Amino acid sequence: MSLFNVCSWWSAQCGDTVGDYDVASLLCARFGLEAQEKDYIIVGSQSGTLSIYYPHGNAFEATDLLLETQLAAPILGLYAGKFSGNVRNENVNQLGVLLPNAFVIYNVQALSGLAEYGTQLKLQQLAEHKFQRVAFSMCQGHFGQVKGREFFCVVHLDGTLTFYEQDGISYECRFPGQRSLPAPVVYCERTDSFFRLSATWHLQCYSYQDLSHSLVTKSSYQPIWSQCIGEGILDMRVVQLKESCSYIMILGERNFICLDDNGKFNFILKLDYAPKCFYSFVVGYYWEPGARLLTAIVSDSAKLHIYEEANIIWAAQWQQPAPVAIQRSNVQGLAGSIVTLTASGQLTVGYLGAQPYQFQVLPLNIEELSFAEAHKQLQQLEDEIKESVDIRDMDALNQQAADQVRISFSIQRKVFDDLDTLVLDVPADVAVKELPSAKGLLKLKIKAELAELQLVIKTPNGVRCSQETLSLVDVPAGSTKELPLDFYMAELLHVHSTRVEIFASFVSPRGIPRVLQQSACLPLSMFYRSCQPQKAAGIKLTYTITSKHVPPKLATFFGEFLEEDSEAQALGLQLLCPGLDKVTEVITVVAAKNSNRLRIQSDCVETFAMILERIVDTTLQLDSDGSLLKMHKRKPKRGVLNRCVERIMAAPFIPTQPILHRADVHHETQQNIRKQTAQLEELWQQFKTLQRQLQEQTESEPKETLTMQIEANYDHLILEGDKLVEIRRDEHRQRSDLNCAVALAKWIIHALNLEERVVNVVNAVLSVPVEDWTELSWEESMAPGIDMLHHFGPLMRSKSTSTHGLLDGNTSNRDSFDYSRFRRHFATLFDRIVRLASSSTDEQAAKQATATEQAVEQLQPAHQVNEIGSMQRMLGDKKSTLPRAGNPNLSSSLEAVEDEEEYDEDDLRDMGYRKDYGPAAAGADGNEGAQKKGKRSEWVNEDFELPTTEELFSDLGIWW
């Protein structure tokens, strides 16, 4: 906190509190109305309010406001000078008001007040100069070094200058070179020249003679000198410190710059704050040797910095918001005062001073301390801190957040055909098809007071919601809200999912951010319609319902198309929104009569995703409702199989080639987009080069050839741009097809007989929906994950391969993406998953058959075996202990595949494992089954336990 403050001596609130004020809204000037006159303070707002103040004391009084009037247009600037030659008194100044399309000159007249009301002012319009172009700013001065009168120059938004003289002569001129941006233009009387900032951030100097004769002679002219400023400027002023030169003071965005009128830099001061406005003035007279140049700069943090040339001599703090305009004035009773104006219209006359900081010691609290009360308060604080930072019990935290904001989201199974396509802005190509829509209902019940609650509704690609976002502010406790929603097709794309998710984010009363999520599924009748089933198809998938709580009937899964008691064995569904209108995309679901199997078949990959999602989700939901222990609450154990297989299991088959074909088409389109973008960039550079050449040509040179080249280049640019738009439209459609293909693979892998960790890792890598970025395509973002699955973990290619070499080789080619390598790894991944699931299924079936035969054979001697086992445990003979059977859960990992069993022998020996070949008497007894079992070696440790996946790959340092 600064010790020095800008002390307020007089302040007033302008009448227009709504209008905006800027640096040109404040003017301190004298009009020659009386002998001992002080400065008047004129304020003009951008809403057109003009006010004139004349402070009489150190406090605002009603008599200080001499004039307040409303003009018909916004006020862009206020100026005082000798703008009219018809006034006889040479000491009288006129008030000039710059409007967007006119410059009005007023004569200020004083009216003596009656009684104690004081003097009032009146404005008499002397002249009004209208112009066609919109004005930006204005500068005034004795142009041409005339004496006794002042001319003015209006700067327009297009950079054109309009000069006005008192005898009515007006003319326009343009700056040479490139097109100029609207920027402040100032006039230097000593050199009779103008200074302006060009579009290239160069400060240029032009003589008044060149500007005034350019329109008459039609001759080209160049600036007298030019200096690079290197940044945009906020304001610019000209002050004369010496008789031999004038100084140009420039307030830039990051620097404070001073140049003389010959273009020589005096100093450049880098500012460590963001400036807002400044005012430069000379203390004394410029012809005196002791004249001082002072500058006051205001920062955005409401601090005032006083500089003498480039040295800071004072700094003070404002107790109000930072002003947007500052002036130095001599008001009645306070000479050299600082007049400021804020953006809200707060007008202040202040001075620099110091206010001592008075520190007073607070009286001691001598109340008796209650340890019980203090312990209770400490316990409450500890509970609040623990609740805000302890994330160990996430279920409790989520339940607490769900109690604070209760969300109920549901979607009706029935579809509707009365969608208002005009209100919802449905595209014409979609509205023509008259596709059905669905209705949903979102209910909110807030039990705690919230500052803000944000809702986001996420729909699949191609589907749109009538209200995708909702923001509630200052929500009181106990409030409820119901929001009806409409879901409809907005694009003719293949949809990969029917799930709609709602995310509610808010900050709890304790200041803890919380996010709630709920989801519901759209009805399948919104995307399909029933048709005749097909007998043959190119892609056939089989699912087996293994849960006893799910009846394997088609009506269980497709209630939109079949009655509840329907016994139909086949159902044909046709997509309502295909990618190509000429192709009929049909999918057929067949239920087996004598088993719990479902066959799903179709010729198109895009038709499977939503059907498989419905079958798997419905099976898991019905089984979770029927069983006592919920599936998501069962903690996963190491080495266990996919828990989804206990409810529904898919046949080990993945349509690899159709999926890869979608990826090939998507990658080719991505390459075409990059080529087309590069071609557009080249054409755009040519177009800018031709435009630059056209601007640099003089009026005498022919321009027809360049004009024709520019028109041809522009037409080519538009044509190639339309091609890029068409390619991007195709890429959007192909991305949706790829979404369906990847979702098909995910739903198949989700129900395969694999280890649960393998399923989770693969599903995490195969992410949907597919996303493409400007610098990175989906294939390039997927390549690292597929490559890691190819070289490490349960799905690795070869367990004896050196991992360091693979990592180094992968890092060296990181910059160049090899799509063929990615495609090969992608196909190999699906092939290994199918092999792994097939081997697991075969081994599980063989073990079940073997266990059944052993159970039948050991029904009679079961009691004897138990006695022998008990005797061995009593004797503690470890040598006679029967070897344990292999862990059945290991069959879900790739180590159970025979063609890759011989790898990692050295690593397992180093870790203390050895091969167990079974009982020695197995071959002597001639038992063929025992011989076969003895031939297949198993790696076991001293407790005859098989190694886990973590132990197999612990030397790699990778978690799986």
User: How many angstroms separate the CA atoms of 40 and 50, rounded?
Assistant: 13
Q: Which helix (H) or strand (E) holds 838?
A: helix 819-857
Per-residue pLDDT reduced to its tens digit, 105-163: 999 888 876 555 667 888 988 888 888 889 999 998 888 888 878 888 998 888 888 88
Residue 327 phi, psi (nearest 5): -140, 155
DSSP string, 616-637: HHHHHHHHHHHSSS-GGGSPP-
Task: Give the C-alpha distances (Å, rounded to integers) separating 948 from 113, 211, 900.
Answer: 102, 88, 16
Lowest mean pLDDT among 361-370, 478-487, 693-702: 361-370
Residue 855: HSE in the Cβ half-sphere, 13 Å Cα cutoff: 6
Most confident listed range (80-84, 518-522, 806-810): 518-522
pTM, full prediction = 0.54
Which DSSP category does 322 fall into? P
* H or E element, residue 387: helix 371-389
Give the tens place of pLDDT for each residue, 279-294: 999 988 877 888 889 9
Closest CA to 41 of 65, 21, 57, 20: 65
Q: Are strands 77-81 and 513-521 parallel, antiparallel or unpaired?
A: unpaired
Contact status, residue 187 vs residue 194, Cβ threshold 8 Å: yes
Give yes or no for a contact between 424 and 437, defined as CB atoms under 8 angstroms apart.
no
pLDDT at 51 (0 to 100): 92
Dihedral of alpha carbons 247, 242, 269, 354, sign? negative
Average pLDDT over residues 242-262: 91
**Closest-CA residue to 7 (of 245, 354, 409):** 354
Radius of gyration (Cα) for the chain, nearest Å?
Answer: 42
Q: Which two tokens stand for residue 288?
A: 């005196």
**The most confident of 96-105, 108-117, 816-825, by mean pLDDT:** 96-105
Residue 621 CA to residue 550 CA, distance in Å, equals 9
Please tell me the predicted confidence (pLDDT) of residue 438: 93
- Are 249 and 236 in contact by the 8 Å Cβ rule? The answer is yes
CB 524 within 8 A of CB 614: yes
Q: Determine the Cα–Cα distance for residues 561 and 554; give it in Å rounded to an integer.
A: 9
Q: What is the pLDDT of residue 570?
A: 92
Give residue 626's pLDDT: 75
Question: With 60 as the cut, is the pLDDT of residue 874 above it?
Answer: no
Specify the length of the chain in residues: 960
Query: Lowest mean pLDDT: which of 389-393, 420-424, 667-671, 707-711?
Result: 389-393
Whether the CB-CB separation of 918 and 883 falls below 8 Å is answered with yes
Residue 70 has pLDDT above 60, yes or no: yes
Q: In whole angstroms, what is the distance from residue 742 CA to residue 284 CA?
A: 81
Pairing between β-strand 94-99 and β-strand 334-341 as defined by DSSP bridges: unpaired
Identify any residues that bridge with 249 across adjacent strands, giving them in sequence order.
237, 258
Average pLDDT over residues 295-321: 90
Segment 611-644, tens digit of pLDDT: 999 999 999 988 888 765 455 545 545 555 778 8
Q: Where are the domains of the chain?
A: 397-524, 528-625, 656-695+705-795+821-838
DSSP secondary structure string for all residues of 9-20:
EEEEE-S-SSS-
What pLDDT is stored for residue 867 in this prediction?
Answer: 38
User: Mean pLDDT throughout 363-369?
Assistant: 71
Complete DSSP assignment for 513-524: EEEEEEEEE--G
DSSP state for residue 434 in the 8-state scheme:
T
Written as one string, the DSSP assignment of 342-357 is -TT-EEEEEEEEE---
Angstrom distance (rounded) from CA 572 to CA 587: 6
For residue 498, the model assigns a pLDDT of: 93
**Angle between helices 608-626 and 704-750 in degrees, nearest 10:** 40
List, for residues 520-566, the tens digit of each pLDDT value. 999 999 999 999 998 888 899 999 998 888 888 898 899 889 888 88
Question: Rounded to an integer, what distance in angstroms lies between the CA atom of residue 145 and that of residue 115?
Answer: 47
Q: What is the pLDDT of residue 695?
A: 80
**68 CA to centre of own chain:** 47
What is the model's pLDDT at position 947? 53
Which among 325, 326, 273 has a CA at the least distance from the CA of 301?
A: 273
**451 and 474 Cβ atoms separated by less than 8 Å:** yes
Residue 116: HSE in the Cβ half-sphere, 13 Å Cα cutoff: 2
**Nearest-angstrom CA–CA distance, 686 and 581:** 41
Burial of 710 (0-12, 13-18, 19+ CB in 10 A): middle
Q: Does the structure show a pLDDT above 60 at 364? A: yes
CA 491 to chain centroid, in Å, comes to 24
Do 618 and 560 contact (CB within 8 A), yes or no? no
Say if residue 164 is exposed, middle or buried (CB neighbours under 10 Å; 0-12, 13-18, 19+). buried
- Whether pLDDT at 507 is above 50: yes
- Asked if residue 698 has pLDDT above 60, the reply is yes
Would the pLDDT of 170 be above 80? no
**What pLDDT is attached to residue 813?**
44
Tell the burial category of 617 from Cβ atoms under 10 Å away from its Cβ (0-12, 13-18, 19+): middle
Q: Find the mean pLDDT for residues 839-849.
A: 67
pLDDT of amino acid 766: 87
d(CA 235, CA 944): 86
Tell me the H-state helices in 656-755.
Answer: 656-696, 704-750
DSSP letter string over 569-617? SEEEEEESS-SSTT---EEEEEE-SSSSEEEEEES-GGGHHHHHHHHHH
The pLDDT value given to residue 807: 40
Q: List the one residue out of 907, 786, 762, 904 whose CA is nearest residue 836.
A: 762
**669, amino acid identity:** T
Instruction: Dig out the tokens for 720 from the structure.
Output: 């190639």
Is 277 a residue whose pLDDT tops 80? yes
349-362: average pLDDT:
69
**Residue-wise pLDDT tens digits, 914-930:** 444 444 433 444 444 44
Nearest C-alpha neighbor of 135 from the set 172, 110, 90: 172
CATH architecture, domain defined by 397-524: Sandwich (2.60)
Lowest mean pLDDT among 701-715, 771-785, 806-820: 806-820
